[in-house]
Amino acid sequence: MAGSTRGGPGANALYVLQGNIPPRAPPLRRRRLIDLLAGNLFDGWRASLLTIATLLLIALVAPPLLRFLVFDAVWSAPDGAACRAPGAGACWAFIWRKLPYFTYGSYPLDQRWRVDVTLAMGAVLIVWLLWLNAPRRNLAALLFFGAYPIIAFLLLHGAPFIGLPRVASDLWGGIFVSLLVATVGMVVSLPFGVLLALGRRSSLPALSLACAGFIELVRGVPIITVLFMANTMLPLFVPENLAPDRLLRPLIGVALFASAYMAEVVRGGLQAIPNGQFEGALALGLGRWQMQRLVILPQALRAVIPGVVNNFIALFKDTTLVAVVGIFDFLRTVDSARLDPVWAGPTIAATGYAFAAMFYFVFCFAMSRYSLFVERRFSHGR
C-alpha cells in the first residue's frame, strides 16, 4: 500500500488507509469427529499410547462390571435363592424388596404415608425454590423455611391432638432420615455460616473473637467427634426432662459442623468484595445491615456458589456418619438389610453398596449441575 501515500497535502504521513476494510466472515473452523480424534486422542505418540492404554483399561473393566450389574443380574425373585445361584450378578430383586425399608427405616407401615406427604411437599417446595424463573419464589421461600419445618415435624413426629399418633424417632430411618439430616444441615448452615462470617469480620473484638473461636474449634475436630459430643454432652447441659431427642442431637451436631465450614467459605467471598462496594453503599446512606443484605452478600454469595455447593455435597455424604451414634440413615439400613438371612448371599453386600453409591451419586451430581447452571445465570455483565 505504499501507493496510498502518493501526492496530496498528507504526503508526509507514513501510511494512510484509502477507503475502508469491510468486515469478513471468520475462516471455517472444522469440527469433524475425525479431526477431533486426530487432534486430541492421537496427537503424537504419547497421546496415542495413553489413548490405547485407556481403551485397554476400559475393555478390561467394563465387561465384568456390565455383566455383574446388568446381564447376569437377578431382576426379580421372591427370596435370595436365585441370587445365590453360581454366576448370578447383582441382586436387584433384593433392592426392590427392601426399598420400603431403605426409604422409611422402621417407620410403622400404616403411617408411612406421612413420610410420603412430607417428602412430596419438600420436593415441590424445593423445585419451586430452585426454579429461578418460577413465579412467587419469595412465597416458596417463606413456605419452605417458615411453614414446612413445622408441618414436617408435626407429620413425622406426630401430633395426637390432630389425630396423628406419635412415632418415636428410634423408628425413623432410611433415605428420609438421610434427606432430613442433609436438608437441616444445609438450611441451617447457610444463614449461620453467613452470620459467623460477618461476625468474624466484625470490628467488635469480642464478637470477632467468639466467632473465630467457634469456627476454629468446630473445624479443628473430626465430625465424628462432634457427633459423639452432641450425643453425650448435649444432655448434660440441659435438665434431664428437656434432654434433646436422640435424633435431634446429631442434627444439632451436623448443623454446627456445617455452619463452621460454611462460615469460612462465605468469608472467602466477603474478602473478595472490593472496598469500593462498601464505600459506595455507605455513601448512599445505606445502614450496615442494609449494605450487607443488598450489596455485599448478594455479590459474595454468588462468588462462592462453587464452594457452597462443594460444602453441601460433602455434607450430604457426611450424613452417613450419623450412623455412629445409632441413627438408621440410608447407608445403615442398607448395611443391616444385607444381614437378612432370607436374602443373605455372596452378591448382596455388593448390590446394596452399588445401589447406595448410585443414590449418593445422583443427588451429588444433580447439586453440582444445578450450581453450574446458577453460576451461568448470574454471570451477566462481567
Q: In this chain, which stretch among 46-54, 74-82, 153-161, 289-297 interacts with other proteins, using CB under 8 A?
A: 289-297
CB closer to other proteins, 241 vs 379: 379
Q: In this chain, which stretch among 41-49, 208-216, 217-225, 270-278 interacts with other proteins, using CB under 8 A?
A: 270-278
Please tell me whether residue 137 binds other proteins under the rule CB under 8 A.
no
Q: Which of 213, 280, 326, 346 binds other proteins (CB under 8 A)?
A: 280
Minimum CB separation from other proteins for residue 26, in Å? 23
Residues 297-336: x/- map of binding to other proteins (CB under 8 A)? -xx--x----------------------------------
CA angle 139, 144, 148 (to 5 degrees): 120
Q: Which of 143, 243, 286, 349 binds other proteins (CB under 8 A)?
A: 286
Q: Of 248, 262, 269, which Cα lies nearest the Cα of 215?
A: 262
Give dist(CA 235, CA 230) in Å, integer: 8
Q: In this chain, which stretch among 106-114, 159-167, 287-295, 329-337 interacts with other proteins, using CB under 8 A?
A: 287-295
Give dist(CA 319, CA 297) in Å, integer: 28
b/e map 189-221, b = 16+ CB within 10 Å: bbebbbebbbbbeeeeeeeeeebbebbeebeee
CB 293 within 8 A of CB 196: no
Give the pairing type, strands 328-329 and 173-174.
Answer: parallel
Give dist(CA 68, CA 347) in Å, integer: 9
Please tell me whether residue 272 binds other proteins under the rule CB under 8 A.
no
Q: Which of 279, 366, 370, 373 binds other proteins (CB under 8 A)?
A: 279
Minimum CB separation from other proteins for residue 203, in Å? 12
- What DSSP element (H or E) covers 329? strand 328-329
Please tell me whether residue 282 binds other proteins under the rule CB under 8 A.
yes
Q: In this chain, which stretch among 116-124, 154-162, 282-290, 351-359 interacts with other proteins, using CB under 8 A?
A: 282-290
Minimum CB separation from other proteins for residue 277, in Å? 6
Please tell me whether residue 287 binds other proteins under the rule CB under 8 A.
yes
Outline where the chain has alpha helix (H).
33-36, 44-66, 81-84, 92-104, 112-130, 137-142, 148-157, 175-200, 205-219, 223-237, 248-271, 275-283, 288-291, 297-303, 305-318, 330-337, 348-377
Please tell me whether residue 381 binds other proteins under the rule CB under 8 A.
yes
The C-alpha cell that represents 347 in the structure block? 452378591
Residues found near other proteins in the complex (CB under 8 A): 274, 276-277, 279-287, 290, 294-295, 298-299, 302, 378, 380-382
